[in-house]
Amino acid sequence: MRKLKYSFVIIFLSFAMPAFSQSKPGISDTCDMLTLWGGSKIYCKVKSLSDVVINYVSCTDSAKKPTFIVRTKVHYWVHPDNSYIVISYDSIIQPPPHPPPIKVDTVYKGESIEHKVFVSAGLGYSTLGTRIYGLLVFEGGLVSESWVYNGAIDYGIKYNTTLGLAMSYQEATGVPLTLDKTGQADNSEYFTRFNCGFRVLHYIVHTYSLFVYSGFRLGISYWRDIPIDINEPSKIDAVTTLGDQSIYPSIQVLFGCKLIYRVIGLHLEVGIGTPYFAEAGLSIKI
């Protein structure tokens, strides 16, 4: 009888001991982990994430009082399933050599262009002849026109916005109509257009080497129209289309991109309005 009693005890303990021996879930299995740049870890429940701070409740705080930490102090936010989000980047401190194995998301907004300077120079295309002579067809009209010579300097005033100054120059020659608009004048004319304006660019993409942007340019165009090839030296009533000189306001909507390797690269722009429809050239990032 005593042997039978001991047998029941042994059988009961053989089933009960594995259940008691199982460990309870650890803090890392139920809580998030914020890994700081210095290597410290905070076990917590993250409540909300903004551009500035992370709000959380510490798992080691018995009072469960909500608190926060500045976002730039945190490198990783590791979830209980060992997936993680990169919270902030640092150009000096390198990421850990062995980050968590599963990467599900990356919080990345691109490289800030605030306080950066872009210097650009290039050649553009504009239908200056159509602007001067319109679509009128007669003997003469536009003879030749140059490329649009462009230069610009843009300064980053915000994380994704620049304010700049741009200048453009173009020249052309042609044959005007007579004063009564009935035929071709006896002389030719030489045009120059100098445009200067401010422009604001909003960068949609701004990584280390690729920049895609849109914006607008407001300025003025200073025109000069000089008669040339006058047949009679004493003739003083030479005809010009625009007169001696004139000033007109200008507006342009821009779309463009820059591809820069370290500090120098190429850019391409298209525009609606004055002073060009398309432009390409070199860009420098300082």
Is 260 a domain residue?
yes
Task: Please report the pLDDT score of residue 26 as a whole number.
Answer: 61
- For the stretch 15-53, pLDDT in tens is 555 444 444 456 667 888 888 887 888 899 888 887 778
Mean per-residue pLDDT, 49-72 = 83
Task: Please report the pLDDT score of residue 175 as a whole number.
Answer: 82
Residue 234 has pLDDT above 50, yes or no: no
The domain boundary residue, chosen from 106, 140, 161: 106
Q: Is residue 89 domain-shared with residue 152, that is, in the same domain?
A: no
Q: How many domains does the chain contain in total?
A: 2
Task: Please report the pLDDT score of residue 167 as a whole number.
Answer: 97
Q: Is residue 87 domain-shared with residue 121, that is, in the same domain?
A: no
Task: Please report the pLDDT score of residue 215 as a whole number.
Answer: 97
Is 133 a domain residue?
yes
Q: What is the CATH number of the domain that holds 149?
A: 2.40.160.20
Q: Is residue 175 domain-shared with residue 254, that is, in the same domain?
A: yes
Secondary structure (H, E, C), the chain: CHHHHHHHHHHHHHHHHHHHHCCCCCHHHHCEEEEECCCCEEEEEEEEECCCEEEEEECCCCCCCEEEEEHHHEEEEECCCCEEEECCCCCCCCCCCCCCCEEEEECCCCCCCCCCEEEEEEEEECCHHHHHHCCCCCCCEEEEECCEEEEEEEEEEECCEEEEEEEEEEEEEEECECCCCCCECCCEEEEEEEEEEEEEEEEEEECCCEEEEEEEEEEEEEEEEEEECCCCCCCCCCCCCCCCEEEEEEEEEEEEEEEEECCEEEEEEEEEECCCCEEEEEEEEC
Is 132 a domain residue?
yes
Is 3 a domain residue?
no
pTM of the model: 0.59
- For the stretch 107-159, pLDDT in tens is 445 678 989 999 999 999 998 777 777 655 555 577 888 999 999 999 999 98
Q: What is the CATH number of the domain that holds 53?
A: 2.30.30
Q: Is residue 252 domain-shared with residue 147, that is, in the same domain?
A: yes
Range of the domain at 33: 24-106
The domain boundary residue, chosen from 37, 72, 106: 106
Is 102 a domain residue?
yes
Residue 6 has pLDDT above 60, yes or no: no
The domain boundary residue, chosen from 39, 71, 106: 106
Q: How confident is the model at residue 272 (pLDDT cuts 50, 70, 90)?
A: very high
Mean per-residue pLDDT, 159-171 = 95
